Structure 1
């Protein structure tokens, strides 16, 4: 098979061979270990289907191949998937037969774009954007290969469609029976068709990247297979995937303007900042914390570490430290409940470092969101009711206070 990419013809077998050489021969300069050879061997042992590939490694080994992955990701990812399958099949042929598809996942891209920098010139290319997850749908099943039964009593054959590749966004019916060659009625056998997990998230610009006076922009991201549930609302993530377009509601009905919306078909999700519940305290961390707790000057040291570049404001810094640590909910004998969360209101003249103290607090809080008059999220401070363009269902989109809570 010949692949034509920007007027350059490439034989698919040659591309697969180049991916195989990279995955098998690449050696980490620091450790001297065959990095991906070991990972491929572990995939069968740990029942994994995805292989994470560092884009820097691929660029270092084969710069042209790395460039082709960015320019024609659909074809290159498919070739890389076949290369992974062939390498695993050498040692674990039985495991390969049980897996429908392997997924090469690329991380550490050469360039990260802002969401508002995504334009039509990037359609069909591999892109990377950073942002905050503001919405997450439930996991659903997406049909990738349908099993059809020919209803003709003289035939009754069962076959998968499409024969190669995956089903598109809409269910496609076969034009004819591949066994008898006749047209007619085809029955979809759902319980024997092939599905993958499917989920949609909405990623919004980081607050610090929003230009003054602008409303934050967002983009939908589609997660499939083992990427589902890899991020939650409030997480700061880097999304690497293929920029695609989908028709608006008017274009789907065949009326109105031919306007399409952007979305990213995710290849890899890198969670930069997880929520508080996912922070793991190691034994060494616990010993260090206990050692600090025995320090008679620990209170003063904590206060002094709050925005150390700002002179003075000792009482304000103490209040912020108490805010960050939080309190313990109490229930009085009469049943009255006193909450453990602490709120701080700073009031002062201009130029007294109120915003600087707030920004510092937002940076070190696990789910801190800095918001100002220029807007925090499209949902505002609390939440807003929106309608899904694809399913038509209504949903709540979290605002800054919900995400930061």
Structure 2
């Protein structure tokens, strides 16, 4: 219970940071860096929102230390906070429609809320469609943490188990880059019997499609409706895998250079190619082995770096 209260307090402190952090411009006026960016994100002008931890350290040192200790969890908390701030920006205006998914969400969320309001329904019921749709499907932006400039650069052999879930900075040379591929975040299905829309959140590299319709109508009538994939209402992002190897000055004499897999998503893709010397920051995360890799014995999970900058 105490941990939940701490996370709720962390949300409030993150909200205060995004709304109040400012720097003076050339004329001496205050420029609210993150509040302006969130406004751009809400209007679909900007996609990637970079949170500079130097600014967070300047604003709240205790919160900065917590983010460095538990970066994976605070990354999700940051998404929750910005979701609310973006929703507040769009409260009195219709969301912009830039692509097919925007049109899908516009119809499901905004128009349905307007219809309920016109019918005289209770205001608390207006967000039923928003609650039914996964928050990940409503997000049309990406959040990345940027480590301080003077952060220590580690070699691949120096990144250990104690760094799992934390934000680390490493230096190396790119030895392999995959093609940029689509990665599905949320899959939307439509039942051909009851017309119900079903959403499936994807949190890993593999998933099994939903087969049976979970709606109450299909279960009571035992109709066993078939679910059809709706690409227009599904959310995809760009995905790329790169392999980063230690620099020659990081390898002890007589040792073999080590390498680490890096997962790159969104606006960070296509920024490097094999042969480039890069400095990369990200969160070290575990990934369970699947298929034949899991049958060989030994470790049950691999680690990779989720690239942020």
TM-score (norm 2): 0.71
Counterpart CA distance in 2 for 1:42 and 1:190 is 29
* One of 121, 131, 138 as aligned partner of 2:162: 121
**Maintained 8 Å contact 1:84/1:102:** no
State the Cα distance separating 1:139 from its structure 2 match.
0.9
Counterpart CA distance in 2 for 1:69 and 1:101 is 23
Counterpart CA distance in 2 for 1:188 and 1:112 is 48
Partner of residue 280, structure 2: 239
CA shift in 2, pair 1:138/1:190, >3 Å: farther
Counterpart CA distance in 1 for 2:252 and 2:24 is 41
Residue deviations 1:291-323 (CA, integer Å, cap 9, x gap)? xxxxxxxxxxxxxxxxxxxxxxxxxxxxxxxxx
CA shift in 2, pair 1:96/1:88, >3 Å: farther
Counterpart CA distance in 2 for 1:23 and 1:131 is 33
**Which protein is richer in helix relative to its size?**
2
**Maintained 8 Å contact 2:152/2:169:** yes
Residue deviations 1:229-284 (CA, integer Å, cap 9, x gap)? 1222222222222212234567655452334322111122xxxxxxxxxxxxxxxx
Counterpart CA distance in 2 for 1:241 and 1:178 is 37
Superposed CA RMSD in Å reads 3.1
Counterpart CA distance in 2 for 1:57 and 1:66 is 9
Partner of residue 171, structure 1: 207
Partner of residue 130, structure 2: none
Partner of residue 102, structure 1: 141
CA shift in 2, pair 1:85/1:260, >3 Å: closer
* One of 226, 229, 246 as aligned partner of 1:189: 229
Moved more, 196-205 or 230-239: 230-239
Partner of residue 121, structure 2: none
Unaligned runs of 5+ in 2: 103-137
State the Cα distance separating 1:42 from its structure 2 match.
4.3
Partner of residue 311, structure 1: none
Counterpart CA distance in 1 for 2:245 and 2:95 is 39
* One of 229, 248, 253 as aligned partner of 1:207: 248
State the Cα distance separating 1:137 from its structure 2 match.
0.8
Residue deviations 1:180-237 (CA, integer Å, cap 9, x gap)? 2739575451523221111111111122222112221111111111111122222222
How many residues are treated as equivalent by the alignment? 258
**Maintained 8 Å contact 1:85/1:96:** no
Partner of residue 353, structure 1: none
Counterpart CA distance in 2 for 1:156 and 1:243 is 41
Give 3-state SS (helix, strand or coil) of 2:56's partner: helix
Unaligned runs of 5+ in 1: 269-405
Higher-RCO chain (CA-CA 8 Å, sequence separation at least 6): 2
Residue deviations 1:48-94 (CA, integer Å, cap 9, x gap)? 12211221211221122222222322331122123334334444554
**Maintained 8 Å contact 2:43/2:96:** no
Residue deviations 1:348-395 (CA, integer Å, cap 9, x gap)? xxxxxxxxxxxxxxxxxxxxxxxxxxxxxxxxxxxxxxxxxxxxxxxx
2:42 is equivalent to residue 82 of structure 1: no
Partner of residue 266, structure 2: 225
Give 3-state SS (helix, strand or coil) of 1:10's partner: helix
Counterpart CA distance in 2 for 1:96 and 1:24 is 22
**Maintained 8 Å contact 1:16/1:80:** yes
2:14 is equivalent to residue 19 of structure 1: yes
Residue deviations 1:321-346 (CA, integer Å, cap 9, x gap)? xxxxxxxxxxxxxxxxxxxxxxxxxx
Partner of residue 148, structure 1: 189
Counterpart CA distance in 1 for 2:86 and 2:290 is 44
Counterpart CA distance in 2 for 1:221 and 1:234 is 15
**Maintained 8 Å contact 1:134/1:202:** yes
Counterpart CA distance in 1 for 2:230 and 2:296 is 32
Q: How does 1:220-369 map to 2 (within 5 A)?
A: 220-248=261-289, 252-268=293-309
CA shift in 2, pair 1:190/1:221, >3 Å: farther
TM-score (norm 1): 0.55
2:196 is equivalent to residue 160 of structure 1: no
Give 3-state SS (helix, strand or coil) of 2:303's partner: strand
State the Cα distance separating 1:37 from its structure 2 match.
3.1
Which structure has the greater CA radius of gyration? 1
Give 3-state SS (helix, strand or coil) of 2:5's partner: strand
